[in-house]
Structure 1
Amino acid sequence: MRVKIALLLHLYQPVTQSEEVFRRVYADSYAPLIKKISKTKNISVSIDLPLSLLEQMDRYGYQSWIADVKELVRLEKLEIVGSAAYHPLLSKLPKNIIEKQVILNEYGIGYYFGDLQNLEGESAVLLRDVVGFFPPEVSVNERVLSVLDSLGYKWMIIDESSIPFDLNYQHKHGVYQFKDYSAKLVCRNRSFSNMLSFKRDLDVEEITDALRFFKANDKSFAVVMDGEFFGHHYGEGFLVFDKLIESGQVLDIEFSTVSSYVEDEAPVLLKDFVEASWGASDQDMSEGTNYPMWCDPSNEIHKLQWDLIDTVLSFYKDDYFMTEVEDYATLPIWKAEGLSQISNSVLRKKVAKEVLLQKSLHSDQFWWASKKTLPAGEFLYDPNMIRKGLQVIENFVELYFGGKDLALVQEKIARIKSVLEES
């Protein structure tokens, strides 16, 4: 059996992104990436396209890009995977919110890539073969796995940080079975994924050396990384892509989807499963910092942000709108024209409320407050992006909260704004 590299690319822009930046990333990365995958022979790629990204693609007129992706899915060049609609840290959220994020994202994928009628010609969303799941920031715990398993997903990406230190595996990356869950855990090869993600030169010797090692040891693995590396994070990223594919094919390594990789691998029984994210190093985990970029115990802004989110969720009344809105499953309920087609005004308001809440949970508001420096040198602090995140929360609470609840949340928002002014 040939050695496989399963490549999963995560494409994402937050709800708070500016149109100018979105269009720049599209030109730098998204447009050429789909063309590159289309023209590169003998590869298949898994791709995560959350609703947060697709909504903006639609808004800014990139319907042809969506159509190109749909065609590549038909040709089996691309495998679309599930995710959370608005890119929250799922493992930090309660089960009901996890479910809604996942199901709303399924609605989005179905709307943009599925068939909008069934065999009888009736309105329906038919989307086949979405069996894998990319958790935003690879933020995972057993609660997330439980929800995905109940929804029928066959595998979920995890990082090596979720594999306990005391398990003496030769390689932490691989395919795992945890307890009696049907859904497998696919642990990405962190060192190889990060080698690509933070590469800022065209010296590919370390890449080819790593490929030779895995080929010699007959070891397949999954590479999971941000798709924006190609062209946007690194202007010469597509040359790195070409060198990666060329080097692999010379060694007779197959570039496959994650699902194909999972089918070939006998899962290893995992004794324990640690809550973690892909931003956590071994040192972070040993210090109890599972989310260094998003929930750092030593970061004052993070503490205030999560206190705010926890307060909002404590006041939130669960309306179970996803079951009530099934009759409207073909509608883009995340935008005004979709909402306007819901005739029941009470249900329409409920749906709008739920979607706005899900948007308010996006991870970028924490990322840009982390004050961390990435391996490539970028310093992660942007008060403007933090304020934009606060504005989404403000919009939600001002519409749907009142009295003491509203006053308390507004007080917490004001406190964060004050800290931003002082810093």
Structure 2
Amino acid sequence: MKIATLIHLYQPYNQQEDVLSRIINESYRPLMLGLKENPKVKLTVNITGTLTELLVKKGFTDVVTDLHLLASRKQVELTGSAMYHTILPLLPKYEINRQITINNTINKRYLGEVFSPSGFFSPELAINALVLREAVSQGFVWIAAPELSYGATLPSTTVLHKDEKTGLFVFFRNKRVSSLILSAAVRDAQQLWQETNDIHKSNYWFVVMDAETFGHHRIGHEKLLFEILTSPNFEPITISELLKEMTATAKVENVILRPCTWTNQEQDFWVSSNKTYILWKDPTNPIHKFQWQLANLAMKSVNAPEYKNPSKQTYSWRKARKQLDIALASDQFWWASAKPWWSLEMIESGAYALKQVLVTLDASVAAA
């Protein structure tokens, strides 16, 4: 069975150093070591630019160096993403484009020539038509998508899926297999094979998981991942390799994707489209309402028409622009969802970050 595995690495720009160190030692370094020790194992890797930069600034350059090495050995395929892990479908076009552009710039700076992604990973696998268009405009060829974005039925793995409007190739995450692995519902490679007996005729499995699951959230769980990827039942492959193989042989099916995230369930589409991004923008959540009022005010203020004039782009405005990029990160909205987790500290921190955008911008106006 061909198995294309995508792991997603992300930590907030202001992650506490002790927490970051634990994640690196428990997860990132064991994952890099496992790859170096098993040269036949291949992964598709998304690392946000904010984490790449954080690793370098905090002195954990070995992780970045290892990623460069593994990418140069063709063991790792790197993808594009949003710099500060924003929920892209909830942002206007300009902010989506900016997050992708900055992410490309930062990862290129630190990873060099091996960072030349053809694939795109939207944080939380959150997609809609605008995200697809912006991904194509940035030169990406394929995108990872939630299984449910295909529709109520499961997508076939024997055909290539292509977005009807943009021409972007779409690879759907196998939610069942991903969940079996990340949840530790299976304890070894043989059990995974037995639990999936009914889908052994699939052409491939595409599993997508947070990297921190392996070793940090679940201590020692990276051992299961490498046991699976070195099992004779599985053939590790990157998505671009899979795309190249299938382009030569498979039929193409044009698709129109539903707006979706990897957290959605089918019943979310039965009730209301407002439930699609409910963990970050719940119309019934009063805190989300206030958060987005403040976020929209900050975006409107920074992107006011007068700032299109370069002479108006003062030091304070440029500082506010940078602050806004960071403040739009998904964390504060997710921690306000209370579905089921909640953090007053993260909510306050997010509100303060957005407030500082306006304070800085006010200084820019005063100086003008």
Task: Confirm or deny a common fold (TM above 0.5).
Answer: yes
User: Match for 2:68 among 67, 70, 79?
Assistant: 70
Which residue type is aligned with residue 332 of structure 2? Answer: Q
User: Match for 2:257 among 265, 268, 273?
Assistant: 273
User: Match for 1:177 among 150, 155, 162?
Assistant: 162
Does structure 1 retain, via aligned residues, the 8 Å contact 2:161–2:254?
yes
Residue equivalent to 1:258: 239
Does structure 2 retain, via aligned residues, the 8 Å contact 1:139–1:275?
yes
| Deviation sequence 1:75-101 (CA, Å, 0-9, x none) | 111111100100101011111111110
Please list every run of 5 or more consecutive structure 2 residues that lacks an aligned counterpart in the other structure. Answer: none
Cα distance in 2, alignment partners of residues 396 and 58 from structure 1: 26
Please list every run of 5 or more consecutive structure 1 residues that lacks an aligned counterpart in the other structure. Answer: 115-125, 325-343, 374-379, 405-423
Residue equivalent to 1:356: 323
Change (3 A) 1:359 1:170: closer
Change (3 A) 1:239 1:169: closer
Which residue type is aligned with residue 339 of structure 2? Answer: K
Which residue type is aligned with residue 15 of structure 1? Answer: Y
Following TM superposition, by how much is the alpha carbon of 1:142 offset from its aligned partner in structure 2, in angstroms? 0.8
Change (3 A) 1:386 1:149: same
Query: Does 2:333 match 1:372?
Result: no
Following TM superposition, by how much is the alpha carbon of 1:241 offset from its aligned partner in structure 2, in angstroms? 1.1
Following TM superposition, by how much is the alpha carbon of 1:204 offset from its aligned partner in structure 2, in angstroms? 5.3
Does structure 1 retain, via aligned residues, the 8 Å contact 2:6–2:43?
yes
Following TM superposition, by how much is the alpha carbon of 1:154 offset from its aligned partner in structure 2, in angstroms? 0.4
Query: Does 2:279 match 1:298?
Result: no
Cα distance in 1, alignment partners of residues 299 and 33 from structure 2: 42
Change (3 A) 1:147 1:394: same
Secondary structure of 2:267 counterpart? helix
Secondary structure of 1:156 counterpart? strand
Residue equivalent to 2:220: 236
Following TM superposition, by how much is the alpha carbon of 1:146 offset from its aligned partner in structure 2, in angstroms? 0.6
Cα distance in 1, alignment partners of residues 170 and 63 from structure 2: 31
Secondary structure of 2:100 counterpart? helix
Following TM superposition, by how much is the alpha carbon of 1:347 offset from its aligned partner in structure 2, in angstroms? 6.5
Query: Does 2:353 match 1:386?
Result: no
Secondary structure of 1:87 counterpart? coil
Secondary structure of 1:282 counterpart? coil
Change (3 A) 1:141 1:321: farther
Cα distance in 1, alignment partners of residues 324 and 240 from structure 2: 32
Following TM superposition, by how much is the alpha carbon of 1:188 offset from its aligned partner in structure 2, in angstroms? 0.8
Secondary structure of 1:157 counterpart? strand
Query: Does 2:243 match 1:245?
Result: no
Query: Does 2:357 match 1:396?
Result: yes
User: Match for 1:163 among 150, 164, 174?
Assistant: 150
| Deviation sequence 1:39-78 (CA, Å, 0-9, x none) | 1231111101111111210121011221121111111111
Following TM superposition, by how much is the alpha carbon of 1:403 offset from its aligned partner in structure 2, in angstroms? 11
Cα distance in 2, alignment partners of residues 5 and 381 from structure 1: 35
Cα distance in 2, alignment partners of residues 242 and 44 from structure 1: 10
Residue equivalent to 1:138: 125
Secondary structure of 2:29 counterpart? helix
Residue equivalent to 1:54: 52
Which residue type is aligned with residue 295 of structure 2? Answer: I
Q: TM-score, normalised by structure 2?
A: 0.89
Query: Does 2:270 match 1:316?
Result: no
Cα distance in 2, alignment partners of residues 14 and 287 from structure 1: 33
Change (3 A) 1:254 1:357: same
Which residue type is aligned with residue 158 of structure 1? Answer: A
Cα distance in 2, alignment partners of residues 361 and 109 from structure 1: 19
Query: Does 2:209 match 1:225?
Result: yes
Does structure 2 retain, via aligned residues, the 8 Å contact 1:175–1:187?
no
Following TM superposition, by how much is the alpha carbon of 1:109 offset from its aligned partner in structure 2, in angstroms? 1.0
Residue equivalent to 1:88: 86
**Identity level (%):** 27
Q: TM-score, normalised by structure 1?
A: 0.78
